[in-house]
Amino acid sequence: MPEPAAEPSATPSGLGVRDVGTLLEALPYIRQFRERTIVIKYGGAAMTDPELREEFARDIALLKYVGVNVVVVHGGGPAITEYMERLNLPVEFRGGLRVSDEQTVEVAKMVLIGKVNKDIVVRIGRHGQPAVGLSGDDGNLFRVETTTGPGGEDVGFVGRVTRVDTGVIDHVAEDFVPVIASVGSDEAGRSHNVNADEAAAAVARATGATRLIFLTDVAGWLRDPADPDSLIVQAGTDEVEQALDGISGGMRPKLQACVDAVHSGVGAASIVDGRKPHSVLLELFTDDGCGTQIRPAR
Ligand SMILES: Nc1ncnc2c1ncn2[C@@H]1O[C@H](COP(=O)(O)OP(=O)(O)O)[C@@H](O)[C@H]1O
Ligand SMILES: CC(=O)N[C@@H](CCC(=O)OP(=O)(O)O)C(=O)O
């Protein structure tokens, strides 16, 4: 069979005009985000599929390479649940937060810091940008306070981030990509489990980030959670606040985190589909973006 004819406008490298167009479209955004801080919350499906994990690491390496001060904050809820079940420990969520006794916090720390964090660090490093793993305890990064669920439910040792000391992030980010696991301690040194969406918003706020991006396992904020085509492409913080009471599951802490971040000066917060390869790059470097973007109220 004859070889398919090359696109008439293809260059000797095989790149077509359309690909060059994508690069040109990205250029003003690369310029806009150069030397700016962008916080990426990593979790959900993008973290469970090995191929997507690799693509994510490559995208983060690329961002650092083009001069973006990229900071990764990660969760790993499904991995914690898997280990809890292996250890025959009960798994319970209230208001989107894991009910965490002392043993649960211990498992969360082992899984997030020991396993998930190191996996991300190794992958980004293999793509040419050395990364450094941190938790809320490193360099006194987070101070937390015991919190309750959204309806005042007792959830045990779950922490609300009350202070972020960005010193360690600033030092690390000079040469490395900081990768932060969402655990921290209170004033008395007691370890707490922290919802990673909330940790990401706290980091974005404290670092004065230009953008905060959440990767998740749906297309974004859906008007109807059962209808994947009902994506809300853009919303003001006021619209999110009006809708919050009616939103269930993990989308609630995510949208709350978007609102908190934008209220505290982050330019925009986005929720993008982590099942789609390169969703972070599409959101940052294309005119159409990808997923839901939350902006200050008009
Ligand atoms: N209106 C909504 N739009 C999108 N997802 C929603 C909505 N309401 C509830 N959800 C649920 O929120 C989930 C995403 O939150 P979560 O599971 O915590 O994500 P992650 O693990 O990626 O942080 C979705 O898989 C979906 O089941
Ligand atoms: C208090 C609380 O719920 N902590 C979360 C921390 C991990 C997390 O948030 O992971 P995802 O972002 O992957 O959901 C948990 O234990 O699951």
Number of other residues whose CB lies within 10 A of the CB of residue 133? 25
With a 6 A CB cut-off, is 261 part of the ligand 2 pocket? Answer: no
- In which residue are the tokens 């390169």 written? 278
Quote the strand ranges of 123-176, DSSP E: 131-135, 142-148, 154-164
The verdict on residue 170 lying in a domain is yes
Q: Could you tell me which of 111, 289, 83, 78 has the C-alpha nearest to residue 183?
A: 111
Q: Could you tell me which of 148, 145, 142 has the C-alpha nearest to residue 205?
A: 142
Distance set, CA 99 to CA 14, 93, 105, 113, 147 (Å): 53, 6, 9, 19, 11
The verdict on residue 4 lying in a domain is no
Domain count, the chain: 1
Q: What's the 221 CA to ligand 1 centre distance in angstroms?
A: 8
Contact 56, 41 (CB under 8 A): no
Confidence (pTM): 0.93
With a 6 A CB cut-off, is 222 part of the ligand 2 pocket? Answer: no
pLDDT at 19: 75
Three-state DSSP state, 222: strand
Range of the domain at 97: 31-295
Q: What's the 151 CA to ligand 1 centre distance in angstroms?
A: 19
pLDDT at 225: 94
Mean pLDDT of 89-113: 96
With a 6 A CB cut-off, is 75 part of the ligand 1 pocket? Answer: yes
For residue 216, the ligand closest to its alpha carbon is: 1
The verdict on residue 169 lying in a domain is yes
Whole-angstrom distance, CA of residue 43 vs CA of residue 218: 12
Number of other residues whose CB lies within 10 A of the CB of residue 148? 15
Question: 14-18, 30-34, 81-85: which range is least confident on average?
Answer: 14-18
- Residue-wise pLDDT for 105-140, tens only, equals 999 999 999 999 999 999 999 999 999 999 999 999
The verdict on residue 49 lying in a domain is yes
| Domain CATH for 194 | 3.40.1160.10
Whole-angstrom distance, CA of residue 92 vs CA of residue 79: 14
The verdict on residue 23 lying in a domain is no
ipTM: 0.96
Contact 231, 222 (CB under 8 A): yes
User: Cα 272 vs. chain centroid, distance in angstroms?
Assistant: 9
- Residue-wise pLDDT for 184-230, tens only, equals 999 999 999 999 999 999 999 999 999 999 999 999 999 999 999 99
The verdict on residue 41 lying in a domain is yes
The verdict on residue 5 lying in a domain is no
Atom number, ligand 1, closest to the C-alpha of residue 77 = 21
The verdict on residue 48 lying in a domain is yes
